[in-house]
């Protein structure tokens, strides 16, 4: 979100239906030092407004979900600051006044209280089983 440009791509059924069974970070992920700063979040807010995005689905662990919550809490202030700096106009501040955020726990650790299984746990365990099966087959020969 901070870098914008071609890093922000709309996901639709066609673009994601073939990755349902694929483990790993196929949709892309990265730790972003810049997002930890207000300046980085200002850049992210500007990029989202430029693309007309007001809904975010954040998949991650404690850091991602905490960052998403901070972003949501700061959203209106970020838009006001962008307007003061001439990056967006007052009409855009009103049009994009609300940011909807859905957070989903994604962690191979499966250590989030109140959930049966986090996103990532099943695929990680599946990969482990595949590797152990391969090692056992090799060891038996």
Domains along the sequence of the chain with CATH: 5-16+27-105 (3.40.50.450)
**CA 38 to CA 15: how far, in whole Å?**
32
Annotated catalytic residues are: 109
Q: Map tokens 């099943």 to a residue.
A: 122
Contact 40, 32 (CB under 8 A): yes
pLDDT on residue 84 = 98
E strand or H helix that includes residue 60: strand 55-60
The per-residue pLDDT for range 34-93, each reduced to its tens digit, is 999 999 999 999 999 999 999 998 888 888 999 999 999 999 999 999 999 999 999 999
pLDDT on residue 24 = 62
The per-residue pLDDT for range 90-131, each reduced to its tens digit, is 999 999 999 999 998 887 777 777 778 777 777 777 778 888
Predicted confidence (pLDDT) at residue 25 exceeds the cutoff of 70: no
């Amino acid at each position: 979100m901070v870098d914008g440009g071609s890093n922000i791509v709309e996901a639709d059924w066609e673009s994601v239906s073939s990755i349902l069974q694929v483990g790993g970070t196929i949709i892309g992920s990265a730790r972003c030092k810049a997002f930890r700063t207000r300046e980085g979040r200002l850049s992210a807010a500007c990029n989202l407004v430029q693309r007309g995005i007001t809904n975010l689905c954040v998949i991650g662990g404690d850091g991602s979900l905490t960052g998403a919550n901070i972003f949501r809490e700061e959203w209106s202030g970020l838009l006001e600051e962008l307007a003061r700096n001439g990056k967006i106009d007052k009409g855009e501040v009103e049009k994009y006044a609300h940011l909807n955020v859905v957070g989903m726990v994604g962690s191979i650790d499966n250590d989030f209280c109140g959930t049966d299984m986090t996103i990532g746990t099943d695929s990680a365990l599946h990969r482990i089983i595949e590797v152990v099966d391969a090692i056992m087959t090799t060891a038996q020969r």
